[in-house]
Amino acid sequence: MDICPNCTNKLTRKDASYCCYCGQSTCNFNQSFKKVLVRSTYEIFDIDGRVATTLKKLLFSPAFLSIEYSIGKIKSYSPPLRMYLVSSLILFITIELFQSTPNQTFDQVGIFLVPKGILEQLSRIMFVMLPIYACILQFFHQDKRYIYNLIFSLHIHSLSNLLLTSALIAQSLATHDLIIVLASIFLIIYLLVYIIIAMKKFFGKSWMITTVNFLGVYAIYLSSLVFVLEIVLKTKQ
Ligand SMILES: [Zn+2]
């Protein structure tokens, strides 16, 4: 095959796997079913492999994905925005599944009680908080471009979504209150330690400056969150 069937440009190499103009695979379907099946299976598992690697890195290697993205290693991992949207969707479904009885004024999330209505609005609230978080990071780290802080923000919020999902699942499966308390404490400590290590690695400052920046970022972030929550609760009334 010398011509790409999709964009009709001439292929630069006879053995090319993809067209360098439009990116279409040179694999045509005019071959044995077995060959097509093997190749398709390989492609599907390749994608799955990427998702699994990305998830593992997101959960256990603070800032790894954000750093890989900033140095241009993009193709090996799932895109940050897609990961954030998928983790939000998983969280949203979990909230819908494990919601408490409708006549209560509070929802229980681990050891916390949150006013009714917040959980249902959480994905929308977080979508607002995501760029705010990146702005606050920008304020403390003028040397980083905003886009990199936004990628960092997407990764941290994706991780938070997954931890919150685990908290809700643990809570609904727990047979004893002590398990809920221990699971909540573990997840909160995990998140805090993860964020500090991620900030240390991503921004490359000393531990002292990282800790001060962490406290500053979260003081502003939590104040903004309370402000946004108040607006959400007021508009609901
Ligand atoms: Zn082409």
pLDDT of residue 156: 96
Intervals of the chain under pLDDT 50: none
Q: Are residues 84 and 169 in the same domain?
A: yes
Ligand 1 centre from 35 Cα, in Å? 22
pLDDT digits (tens, 9 = 90+) for 176-189: 888 888 989 999 99
* C-alpha to C-alpha distance for 19 and 26, rounded to whole angstroms: 7
Spatial CB neighbours of 162, under 8 Å, sequence gap ≥ 6: 58, 59, 87, 90, 91
Ligand 1 centre from 234 Cα, in Å? 53
Ligand 1 centre from 40 Cα, in Å? 19
Q: Are residues 108 and 194 in the same domain?
A: yes
| Structural domain count of the chain | 2
Ligand 1 centre from 42 Cα, in Å? 22
pLDDT of residue 129: 93
Placement of tokens 């997407």 in the chain: 154
Residue 73 lies in a domain: yes
Q: Are residues 18 and 82 in the same domain?
A: no
Q: Domain range holding 71?
A: 48-236
Residue 35 lies in a domain: no
Q: Angle at which helices 207-236 and 118-140 pack, to 10 degrees?
A: 140
* DSSP single-letter state for residue 109: E
| pTM reported for the whole predicted model | 0.82
Segments in the chain forming alpha helices (H): 33-60, 64-70, 80-97, 118-140, 146-173, 177-203, 207-236
